[in-house]
Amino acid sequence: MKRDRNVKIVATLGPASSTYEMIRALHEAGADVFRLNMSHGTHEDIEARHSIIRQVEKDLDSPIGILADLQGPKLRVGEFANGSEELEWGATFRLDLDETPGDATRVQLPHPEIFAALEPGATLLVNDGKIRLRVTDCTKDQATCTVEAGGTISNRKGVNVPDVVLPVAALSDKDRRDLEFACGLGIDWLALSFVQRPDDVEEARKLAGDRAAILAKIEKPSAVEHFNAILEVSDGIMVARGDLGVELPVHSVPPIQKRLVRKCRAAAKPVIVATQMLESMIESPMPTRAEVSDVSGAIYEGADAIMLSAESAAGQYPIEAVTTMDNVAKSVESDPTYRSVIEASRSAARHTVADGIVAAAREIAETTDIKAICCFTSSGTTAALVARERPRVPIIAMTPQRGTARRLTLHWGVKCVIAGELERFKQAVVNSARAARQLGYAMETDQIVVTAGVPFNKAGTTNILRVAPCDERLIFRTDPE
């Protein structure tokens, strides 16, 4: 499906978006990738949505990416005898392993690994940071705290521990079951929550194998601190600003977002900016001006994708939310300032032949009348490198691998076409010319750039660049062999 924008849109599915009609409408409105949130719904629910997505993909002959988002370990307090209590500023409050229902002085925290890592002075945040506790004394089975920000604390509220790296694996037992289930379905991307270190990503990769690409969610201070190492072992990144804004000072999140997006682009790995992008549209058909500016900012920064969560999963206006994102993206990308910002932030690092080929393709396309860059790719690497360049012309990824086409739906500007296996470069040129014409990017009188690697269907062999006419008769005339 042809899009008149380059940034991709990820839409989360849920109770408000589970039917064939709604999922198809969301894709037609602009959703390129669908997110299946493993925190909500049964395996039967997830499987049903997955099946519908694949049916929509087949009916519209349009590759669709599917991202399964693992829940990660959830740190929560226990229950209170009265259901909730009011904590006053300056009061003393204890967290412990005792299963007895809590009161205004204490409550269970059934996570001994937290107590093992805590030290006096550490901060504990409860209920998305609405309640802030400062540890004054701790042992292996309890922590005595002073209330620094009070309020209502109730059953099973979440706990964040921003000051320490917890000895907690990113994959819980539930996550392991969900990972195997999702990979068995045939999802394309696997989002990993609670990442603190590169080892967390490596563990998930061992379990997933080559069945799914691994996307690390950056939502903890330790993940920001170890970001370069995490990026190196990940296939993609999600800047999960919700938890990040709880565990770090909220004013630090925008510059962190900008740094992470730029590093991902330099590494040619897709980055999603997520959380609360159009949150008011859960209940309103119109976004706030601040939300539109937030979405615009992520696009100006060069993010590969922007994401809707509850807006499309449980909101009253899922189609309107996707349409709004689509319209904002088109408006930003048509702004001359956008192009100047994107080009000013382009990485100049060139280390391989493939880097040189895609940089040359972009330069040729921008200095001559080239209508598209067509790249033949088996693994998706060539298309990812071209996307890193953020060229002014469309990127058409030709691949014989349906799985590769689906994964590339997350990359900036890439339009995916399923092509047959190739034996000769001439056929690659012919197929590229046909695809450019069929997608409406070029006519017979136009020219395109074609990149490929010979031998074909072998990852990491990008070594050919050719400027070719879109008229097949000219291709055969100039390249009869």
The pair of three-digit structure tokens given for residue 32, joined into one six-digit string: 């390129």
Whether 275 is catalytic is yes
Reduced to 3 states, what is the DSSP secondary structure of residue 467? strand
Whether 106 is catalytic is no
Residue with tokens 């969610």, as numbered in its chain: 217
**CA 190/CA 201 separation, integer angstroms:** 11
**CA 26/CA 49 separation, integer angstroms:** 13
**CA 414/CA 402 separation, integer angstroms:** 14
The pair of three-digit structure tokens given for residue 101, joined into one six-digit string: 């229902």
The active-site residue, picked from 12, 123, 275, 461, is 275
Beta strands in 2-122 (DSSP E): 8-13, 33-37, 65-69, 84-87, 92-96, 106-108
Query: Who's near 193: CB < 8 A, 6+ residues apart?
Result: 69, 70, 71, 72, 170, 175, 217, 219, 240
Reduced to 3 states, what is the DSSP secondary structure of residue 130? coil
Whether 217 is catalytic is yes
Residue 431: which of 392, 480, 398 has the closest Cα? Answer: 398
Residue 360: which of 263, 467, 471, 446 has the closest Cα? Answer: 467
DSSP string, 49-68: HHHHHHHHHHHHT---EEEE
Q: How many CA atoms lie within 13 A of 289 on its CB side?
A: 0
The active-site residue, picked from 8, 106, 205, 217, is 217
Whether 339 is catalytic is no
The active-site residue, picked from 35, 205, 269, 466, is 35
The active-site residue, picked from 76, 197, 262, 434, is 76
Which sequence positions are flagged as catalytic?
A: 35, 76, 217, 275
